[in-house]
A and B are shown apart, each in its own frame.
Chain A
Amino acid sequence: MNAIIEILPQLLRGLQITVSVLLASAIIAYIVAFIAGLARASKNTILNKIAGVYIEIFRGTSLIVQLFWLYYAIPMLFGIQLGSNWWTGVIAIGLNYGAYLAEVVRGSILAVDKGQTEASIALNMSSYQRMRLIILPQAVRMMLPEVGNYTIQMMKATSLVSLIGMRDILYYGDIMRSTNLAQAPLVYVVVLLMYFILALPFIWLTRKGETLSKKGVASQ
């Protein structure tokens, strides 16, 4: 017990980085996914192709590779320092999961029953009104469980930023392990528990989302 009291405050120092990386990369992922998903569901071939290339590249390679690549590439290719590795981590995680979520967005849009489109045409809605008032509200409900899932994946992925020197929960855990190896099991168990607690709201969202997503939706 004493040991935990000793460990916990140390690890909590990393909480801010873990949470801020998660929030920022989640926001980026959602926005990117929304845009790319809409592009994928649209009939515009150019937009569709561009989004398709983005999605395949980021899903086809692994996140840890993207992270390292961006870590070296951003300063080199663009000649800019983003100011911190924080941005590198956020961009890598955001773009990677943005690609996965884009497919979720596309899938949900296409899964809305065709009859909904037909009814809105019969009510003389424009294609923009149709998307905004009828299709998206239903598609978003359908997305909820998968958004919960992928947010958990993103939360897990934030641990990678410790590899590029960000001082997140895992970073402080590693420091403590290297100073006192005997404590390592306890340290990592507490680290895992902290991540699990962070995941709980999203686990809840995922389960809740499953019931919620079936309500108010006409799916095919």
Chain B
Amino acid sequence: MSSNFRWETFVEAFPLVLQGLGLTVGLTFACFGFALLFGFVWIFLRRIPNKPIVWICTWVMEFIRSTPPLVQLFFLYYAWPVVPVVGVTLEPFTCAVLGIGIHYSTYIGEIYRSGIEGVDKGQWEASTALNFSNADKWKKIILPQAIPPTIPMLGNYFIIMFKEVPLASVIGVGGILFMANSYGASHFAYLEPLTIVGIIFLALSYPSSILIRKLEVKMNTRFDKNAVLSKSKMKTIQGMNLEGSDRIV
């Protein structure tokens, strides 16, 4: 292994590592999309008016959220295929989408919940008073108010997941981290390609987080009360990786 940082290596490795970017970004979108969908499952299950089901759901979410995604990935990749009856072998990519997607769906579900709970009680009563059907009530009154304030928070989770997907390299998904490690293995130089990975992450996630902060401010002025309300609620959600600090002054 070379004993110090070399620019030639850096320059040589750059295009190779960059080749992995498409997959990393693609995987992020896939995981995020899956988490968005699966988040609804939690919401749906938790709205079932049955105490034990809600209780079980709450603890299952807590369990998934409080245990390492790395172990969950290994479980899906190595153990799931040998589980009797239901077990099937999963492609690394599918495995990563399921593993990371389900892990983060537990956070996304909480965001949805905060959005729905952020809608003023009076809105429910008003829509009942106006004799909306149940579907219309959700479609026309509740969701249009519940969704916008959650958008910045969902955006934050997109960035968080972007930083989490390199984990999939451990089961052989070929993103930038994977590329860097394999370059390292074949050239006995790890530091340069890993530095490149760090720079790529920084270059993409820092501007996007600034963008999201801007969006947040904009949302907060547009949906004033709602957003502030759900924001303060969001702060107390378990396991939040959000910056609780960008205060709306």
A residues whose Cβ falls under 8 Å from a Cβ of B: 56-57, 59-66, 68-69, 72-73, 76-77, 100, 103-104, 106-107, 110-111, 145-146, 149, 152-153, 155-160, 162-163, 170, 173-174, 177, 181-182, 184-185, 187-189, 191-192, 195-196, 199, 203, 206-207, 210, 220
Contacts and interface: CB of A to CB of B under 8 A. Distances in A.
B82 A185 contact: yes
B82 A184 contact: yes
Given A68-B177, A188-B75, 15 more contacts: A59-B209, A61-B201, A72-B184, A76-B191, A77-B191, A107-B247, A145-B235, A146-B244, A159-B70, A160-B70, A170-B71, A170-B74, A181-B78, A181-B82, A199-B66
B166 A64 contact: yes
6 contacts: A59-B209, A72-B184, A100-B241, A145-B236, A156-B69, A185-B80
A153 B243 contact: no
Interface string B167-211: 101100000010001001000001100110110011001100100
Contacts of A159: 68, 70-71
Contacts, number: 154
A177 B79 contact: yes
Contact of B63 (A111, A184, A188, A196): A196
B163 interface: yes
A89 B80 CA distance: 29
Contacts of B3: 76
Contacts of B67: 156, 192, 195-196, 199
Nearest to B76: A188
B71 A163 contact: no
A107 B169 CA distance: 34
Nearest to A178: B78
Contacts of B5: 76-77
Nearest to B237: A149
Contact of A65 (B4, B69, B201, B236): B201
A111 to B, nearest CB: 7
B12 interface: no
B79 A64 contact: no
What are the nearest 5 A-B pairs in CB distance? A107-B245, A62-B163, A159-B68, A199-B66, A184-B79
B198 A69 contact: yes
A152 B198 contact: no
Interface residues of B, number: 53
Contacts of B181: 68
Contact of B238 (A149, A181, A187, A192): A149
A163 B170 contact: yes
Given A73-B191, A149-B239, A210-B236, A66 B198 contact: yes
B11 to A, nearest CB: 18
A189 B76 CA distance: 11
A176 B247 CA distance: 48
Interface string B146-170: 0000000000000000011011011
Contacts of A170: 68, 70-71, 74
A69 B191 contact: yes
B245 A103 contact: yes
Interface string B1-45: 101110000000000000000000000000000000000000000
A107 B75 CA distance: 37
A156 B243 contact: no
Contacts of A174: 74
Given A76-B3, A146-B240, A203-B62, A110 B198 contact: no
A168 to B, nearest CB: 10
Contacts of A158: 68
B127 interface: no
B71 A72 contact: no
Nearest to B80: A185
B167 A64 contact: yes
Interface in B56-93: 62-63, 65-72, 74-75, 78-80, 82-83, 87
